[in-house]
Structures are given as structure tokens and as C-alpha cells.
Amino acid sequence: MRLDGKIVVITGAMGALGQTVASVFSTSGATLVVVDRQVPKELPGGMLGLTADVTDAAEVQRLMETVTQKAGRIDCLVNLVGGFSMGRVTETDRSLWDKMLTMNLTSAFLLSRAVVPHMLEQRSGRIIHIAARAALDPFPGAAAYLVAKSALLSLIRILALELAGSGVSVNAVLPATIDTPANRQSMPTADFGKWVRREAVAELLVFLASDGAAAVNGALIPIGSL
């Protein structure tokens, strides 16, 4: 799939998954705006780097305004922001609860709310969020994380319904455990061969950003082993 001429904003771009996604999107021909709390001054392939806290409403609004000023438009938002924590309901304090909701749900809400007006003005756009397969098949012991990711799926479906027929689509990719250095370190005895390759996630994201996915809206797409 080619994305020549497309302006793609990737949030959470400096993590292991984000760097792989940015590389694959760049190879596909997209013009990239990569966003994170910290971004190197020098980036490959003509990428534009911007810093932002996407859990802050004012910063998110400024981010979208800056992108449109510098790039002229936003064809696709790929949101990779999120965080994980263990803890059963009875083990989860209010601080952890709020943190998981803010990182995994509020960030997606703020980004979506800020980018939609720009895309509606263009009458086209793609919004793609990374969720989690475990939101469909929950397990005990990660209550706040799974509640946040499950709510994210509802946000995506609701927004997709609200935008139906507008030319703007909203979809989600739901990976199982992704093969990253951090995950290998935290789960050293796991079977890494069963994990999802970062490149596989990136390739699916590229498809959803492409013209070939124009009719796909409100899709929650699992990737990885059951």
C-alpha cells in the first residue's frame, strides 16, 4: 500500500512500536509528523518532530493547529499512546486507576476531538487507535488497564457512528502482546515466537490509512494469537 502525499501524524512515536510504525509509514511514502513527550532534534526521512503531552487538552489543541499550519492538512492520525499496569480491582488505588484511564482513554478522546474538525473540513481523514486484544478477552489482574482499553473500544465505535458518511473513518488495531525489548525484559520466560511482530502491526496500520480502506469504519481488528 502506498501513502504518497498523505500527511500522517503518529503520537507515541518514540517508543519501540512507534519507531517501527514511523519507519514503515515512511517507506510507504507518507509525510510524517512524529509526536511524543520528547523527540530528537534530528529525525530521518524528512520527518517533522513535535513534542506534546497528549493527556493535556490545551497541548493537544495546539498540536493539531501547529500540524495544520506546518503541513497544511492532516490525512491520518495514528495514536499509539498508552500504558500498562497490573492490579486486581481490590489492589488498584485511585492514582493508578486515574493514570490508566488518562493514558489509554483520555488521550485518545482528546486527540480524536481535536483532529476531527480539521478532517471534516477536508471531508476526509483516517483516525486509527491502538487498543488491546485483551479488551475483547479480559483476564484477571489488570483491572484499570482493561477497563480503560474496553472503554476505548466504545469511544471508537461511537465516534465512527457519529462520523459515518462524512469521509472520516475511525478504526482500531487490537494487538496481543507485542514483541518489544521492554516486554521481553518484563516477561523473560514467555514464548516470544507467539508475540505480535511490530512490523505486522505497522503494516496493518498502513492499510487502514490507505485509500484501500476507505470503506472501513468502526472496525476493531484483533491481531495476534488467541
Return the pLDDT at 156: 99
Q: Is 28 exposed, middle or buried (0-12, 13-18, 19+ CB in 10 A)?
A: buried
CA distances to 81, 178, 218 from 192, rounded to whole Å, are 23, 9, 30
Task: Identify which has the larger pLDDT, 190 or 100.
Answer: 100
Return the pLDDT at 194: 86
What pLDDT digit, counting tens, does each position of 81-128 carry? 999 999 999 999 999 999 999 999 999 999 999 999 999 999 999 999
CA distances to 2, 60, 126, 201 from 214, rounded to whole Å, are 14, 26, 9, 19
What pLDDT digit, counting tens, does each position of 19-57 carry? 999 999 999 999 999 999 999 988 987 899 999 999 999
**pLDDT(196) > 70:** yes
Return the pLDDT at 182: 85
Rounded Cα gap, residues 205 and 97, in angstroms = 29
CATH of 7-223 among 3.40.30.10, 3.30.300.160, 3.40.50.720, 3.40.1280.10: 3.40.50.720
**pLDDT(226) > 70:** no
Span 174-202, average pLDDT: 89
Return the pLDDT at 190: 86
**pLDDT(199) > 90:** yes
Lowest-pLDDT range of 13-22, 119-128, 178-187, 208-217: 178-187
Residue 5 zone, left/alpha/beta (φ > 0; ψ -120 to 50; rest): left
Span 67-75, average pLDDT: 97
Rounded Cα gap, residues 93 and 136, in angstroms = 24
Return the pLDDT at 58: 98
What pLDDT digit, counting tens, does each position of 128-148 carry? 999 999 999 999 999 999 999
Task: Identify which has the larger pLDDT, 10 or 192.
Answer: 10
Closest residue by Cα to residue 105 from 142, 63, 54: 54
pTM: 0.96
Select which of 25, 84, 97, 145 is catalytic.
145
Rounded Cα gap, residues 21 and 156, in angstroms = 21
Return the pLDDT at 40: 93
85 catalytic, yes or no?
A: no
The whole-chain average pLDDT of the chain stands at 96
